[in-house]
Amino acid sequence: MLEAEQQWWKQNGVAISETIDRAGTPWVRMFDRHGKRVDEILYPREYLTILKRGYRSGVVWRALEEKSLLSTYLLMYTISFYDPGICCPYTVSLGTAVPLAKYGREELQSRFLPQLLRKDDSVWQGATWMTEIAGGSDLGAGVKTVARSNDDSWLLTGDKYFTSNAGAELAVAAARPHGAAPGVRGLALFLVPRYRRDGSLNYFIRRLKDKIATRSVPTGEVELRDSEGYLLGSADSGIYLILEVLNLSRVANSVVSVALAQRAMADALSYAECRMAFGRRIIDHPLLQHQFESRLQGLRSAFALAWESVRLLNEVWMYRPPYSERYHLFRLVAHLAKYWTAEFAVDTAKWAMEVHGGLGVLAEYGVERWLREAMILAIWEGTAHRQVLDALEVMERKQAHKMLFELLAEAAPSDELRQMESTVQNHLSLPTNEKEARAESLIRQLAIFTANKLSLTYPG
């Protein structure tokens, strides 16, 4: 499966992906020629060629059919090497199908799930719409969208500010049922189809964002106006469902980050093997060779960390609250992985540009694209700040680091483990302000430590 995927991408996908990046942000055609509101998204035609291929290959349907996320994330890893952005629609489609399959009433499942799992080009896409204008981290304060009960469904009204895959046939959206508690506890998760039962548009795309990368993905602003929605799970457990959706995308972000770093290194290597300076191929200069080798080790570690987050998610993704300890271990590893793989991707993309010298800053040669794409990965699904603070919290409140050290016990010498453990323990006993203020270097150290140790247990 992966082999075929790679072949296709080398021969076709790469050129299409470059076209799409160069073409810039897609348009919305709000009205058709006859004045009917349609909110049709116009992108380079071949985007569909790329996009649909991944769905057919099983980036979503395999997860639910195989009852395992491994094929899904392996496919994402393979595809992201060629186009990191395209995994965004796949991830949000997965993030729609999974809560529907896990928490949806039977009637909802039979109505919507088959559309998301089709194996041909008629497959529906999903989308996950949480963020509003007040911001994405603090959902409790940020979500102003209100849902009012209406017979067997709900009517949602509000504005979603960062809606990846705007135009999807089905979305999950965070909203607060009218009269529910303030803060995160009052949030619920709803299924929102593109069309109402009467066939008219169920939500409006106000506009698409002009992003520096993932240009194929229509990220928009969506207006919900008495939009038909269907509750998933219970009205007071929405925050758990939201965070479970986020788990899927954080892990995807980690996997894509590693693939992107690998791509940037591959491009740098192929350049360095041909470019001459001072009578030698530049790859033969000791400094560059040394950088390449140590970065390769970094890549292996980052891969191990990302894949461990996949492995653990695959264990816990069907758990429900109240969650087991294993779930909290997953959360810690997922935060470390999201944080560190993105840092590594950005740094590697920067380095790959430098290896290309002056060509690195020219649009013509495309290597600058990896830095743009990497910055998206560093920011989406929670910036470094967010991962650092959340990792801190799951250690403090759930003692997740203890489970982590058990996990690493097989690979790490016990003295190193003990030393790392005491560093963590000391940090956790700092006064609150200082604990937060200095958290980044702790989490960085812990992420690298974990990645390095895990990499020893992974095949090269």
249-308 binders of a second copy (CB under 8 A): 271, 274-279, 285-291
User: How would you class 157 by CB atoms within 10 Å of its CB: exposed for 0-12, middle for 13-18, buried for 19 or more?
Assistant: middle
Least distance (Å) from a second copy to the CB of residue 430? 11
Q: Of all helices (H) and strands (E), which one includes residue 226?
A: strand 220-232
**Pairing assessment for the beta strands 153-163 and 146-150 based on DSSP bridges:** antiparallel
The amino acid at residue 53 is: R
Cα–Cα distance, 432 to 209 (Å, whole number): 38
Nearer to a second copy, 70 or 375 (CB): 375
122 near a second copy, judged by CB under 8 A: no
**Binding test (CB under 8 A) with a second copy, winner from 70, 146, 269, 379:** 379
What is the end-to-end Cα distance of the chain in Å, rounded? 21
Closest CA to 99 of 265, 247, 280: 247
Nearer to a second copy, 184 or 306 (CB): 184
User: How would you class 174 by CB atoms within 10 Å of its CB: exposed for 0-12, middle for 13-18, buried for 19 or more?
Assistant: buried
Least distance (Å) from a second copy to the CB of residue 62? 28
CA-based torsion, 200, 204, 210, 213: positive or negative: negative
Cα–Cα distance, 210 to 166 (Å, whole number): 13
CA distances from 378 to 218, 253, 328, 437 (A): 19, 9, 23, 20
The interface region with a second copy, picked from 87-95, 132-140, 330-338, 394-402 by CB under 8 A, is: 132-140
Number of residues that bind a second copy (CB under 8 A): 84
Nearer to a second copy, 147 or 378 (CB): 378
**Binding test (CB under 8 A) with a second copy, winner from 67, 185, 207, 225:** 207
200 near a second copy, judged by CB under 8 A: no
Q: Which two tokens stand for residue 198?
A: 């009467």
The interface region with a second copy, picked from 40-48, 108-116, 121-129, 258-266 by CB under 8 A, is: 40-48
Nearer to a second copy, 337 or 342 (CB): 342
Cα–Cα distance, 429 to 395 (Å, whole number): 12
**Binding test (CB under 8 A) with a second copy, winner from 187, 305, 329, 353:** 353
Closest CA to 445 of 429, 412, 421, 410: 421
Angle (CA) 199 104 203, round 5°: 30
182 near a second copy, judged by CB under 8 A: no
The interface region with a second copy, picked from 172-180, 247-255, 407-415, 436-444 by CB under 8 A, is: 436-444
Least distance (Å) from a second copy to the CB of residue 342? 10
Q: Per CB under 8 A, which of residues 396..435 are in contact with a second copy? A: 432-434
CA-based torsion, 111, 113, 116, 121: positive or negative: negative
340 near a second copy, judged by CB under 8 A: no
4 near a second copy, judged by CB under 8 A: no
Nearer to a second copy, 189 or 288 (CB): 288
180 near a second copy, judged by CB under 8 A: no
Cis peptide before 322 (omega within 30 of 0): yes
51 near a second copy, judged by CB under 8 A: no
The interface region with a second copy, picked from 16-24, 59-67, 121-129, 316-324 by CB under 8 A, is: 16-24
18 near a second copy, judged by CB under 8 A: yes
**Binding test (CB under 8 A) with a second copy, winner from 3, 11, 35, 152:** 35
Least distance (Å) from a second copy to the CB of residue 256? 15
Helix/strand/coil (H, E, C) string of 125-191?
CCCEECCECCECCCHHHHCCCEEEEECCEEEEEEEEEEECCCCCCEEEEEEEECCCCCCHHHCEEEE
233 backbone φψ class: left, alpha, beta (φ>0; ψ -120 to 50): left
Least distance (Å) from a second copy to the CB of residue 449? 19
181 near a second copy, judged by CB under 8 A: no
The interface region with a second copy, picked from 59-67, 235-243, 385-393, 403-411 by CB under 8 A, is: 385-393
226 near a second copy, judged by CB under 8 A: no
The interface region with a second copy, picked from 72-80, 103-111, 355-363, 418-426 by CB under 8 A, is: 355-363
Q: Look up residue 201 and give its DSSP letter.
A: B
